[in-house]
Amino acid sequence: MALTDNLISFWELEEASGATRNDSHGTNHLTNTTAGGGSEVLQGTGKVGNCANLEQGTTDLFTRADNASLSAAGTDFTWCAWVNFESKPVTLAGIISKAGGSAAVMEYDVRWDAASDRFMLYVGGGIGYENVVANNFGAPALSTWYFVVAWVDTVGNTLNIQVNNGTADSASFSDTIPDTTVQLQIGGAGVGPLYTWDGLIDQVGFWKRVLTSDERAFLYNAGAGRSYAAIVAGEGGGGNPFITQNEAIVI
């Protein structure tokens, strides 16, 4: 299996301040949203090349209108992102969110939570919110890059989150994620431009499948990250690093 299998979107966030951030793999290009008197999202030095530099309190973030490709209802999925704090807010900071004001209109929400000082994955559904907390990693520091991977396994009925390719945390998952019309947000969470991130975000990816441990390790790359071109090419600039010796290759 290639790492691009079931990859929906990948945003390198290389563009200049205020610009649309292009989806390198699909068509879910991100709009720079400045509602509520916010400012344009700036450009910063990323984990790989450039990145987005968001300022907490200015309500600047990225959005993409709801569409079927971004829906998580009834499917496995994996989100990943490199993040770096400039400051920690008093409540929470959204990284990736497709969530409204209640569990019935939340699909997924990858965030940092102030009360626990942990990265978390929330999902919604008919019986309420469910979440998993990155307790194995612990509290993040300021001015430090972290690779956060969050996924839902509908076969194993688990929610999962992993930081810096360490030991993942898992929690049982018993609900059904709804198919909502809520927009995607990168760098914010909730209804409208709320709970915005203060710092850097880079190399955001979305798959409609569960990535393997080898694939997550490849993306982390011993802390160096991967460009979209490297993901497409495979390790070493060519080929597929995830084909095992037991898999047949048909020519």
Instruction: Find, among 184, 196, 191, 199, the residue nearest to 93 by Cα.
Output: 196
Contact 61, 193 (CB under 8 A): yes
Beta carbons within 8 Å of 178's beta carbon, 6+ residues apart: 73, 104, 105, 106, 107, 124, 125, 126
Question: Is residue 221 one of the residues assigned to a domain?
Answer: yes
Question: Is residue 250 one of the residues assigned to a domain?
Answer: no
Mean pLDDT, the chain, integer = 89
Question: Is residue 243 one of the residues assigned to a domain?
Answer: no
Three-state DSSP at 221 gives helix
What is the mean predicted confidence (pLDDT) over 61-77?
Answer: 95
Question: What pLDDT digit, counting tens, does each position of 21-60 carry?
Answer: 999 999 999 998 875 555 688 999 999 999 999 987 667 8
Share of the chain above pLDDT 90, in %: 73
pLDDT surpasses 50 at 245 = no
Q: From edge to edge, which strands make up the β-sheet containing 130-133?
A: 31-33, 61-64, 184-186, 92-99, 106-113, 118-123, 130-133
Question: Is residue 247 one of the residues assigned to a domain?
Answer: no
For the chain, what is the domain count? Answer: 1
**Residues, the chain:** 251
Beta carbons within 8 Å of 155's beta carbon, 6+ residues apart: 76
How far apart CA 155 and CA 119 sit, in angstroms, is 24
Question: Is residue 246 one of the residues assigned to a domain?
Answer: no
The CATH number given to whatever domain includes residue 12 is 2.60.120.200
How far apart CA 82 and CA 18 sit, in angstroms, is 20
Strands 77-85 and 199-207: antiparallel
One-character DSSP codes across 57-78: TTT-EEEE---GGG--TTS-EE
Question: What pLDDT digit, counting tens, does each position of 90-135 carry?
Answer: 889 999 999 988 888 899 999 999 999 999 999 998 778 999 999 9
Start-end of H helices in 107-234: 213-220, 228-233
Question: Is residue 153 one of the residues assigned to a domain?
Answer: yes
Q: Which residue range is the domain that position 144 belongs to?
A: 7-237
Question: Is residue 80 one of the residues assigned to a domain?
Answer: yes
What is the mean predicted confidence (pLDDT) over 75-102?
Answer: 93
Question: Is residue 248 one of the residues assigned to a domain?
Answer: no
pLDDT surpasses 90 at 150 = yes
Beta carbons within 8 Å of 44's beta carbon, 6+ residues apart: 50, 51, 52, 53, 200
How far apart CA 76 and CA 90 sit, in angstroms, is 32
pLDDT surpasses 70 at 191 = no
Question: What pLDDT digit, counting tens, does each position of 200-210 carry?
Answer: 999 999 999 99
pLDDT at 218: 97
pLDDT surpasses 70 at 227 = yes
For 119-130, b/e burial (b = at least 16 CB within 10 A) is bbbbbbbeeeeb
Strand partners, 202: 82
Contact 157, 174 (CB under 8 A): yes
What are the Cα distances from residue 105, in Å, to 76, 98, 123, 180, 191? Answer: 18, 8, 10, 6, 10
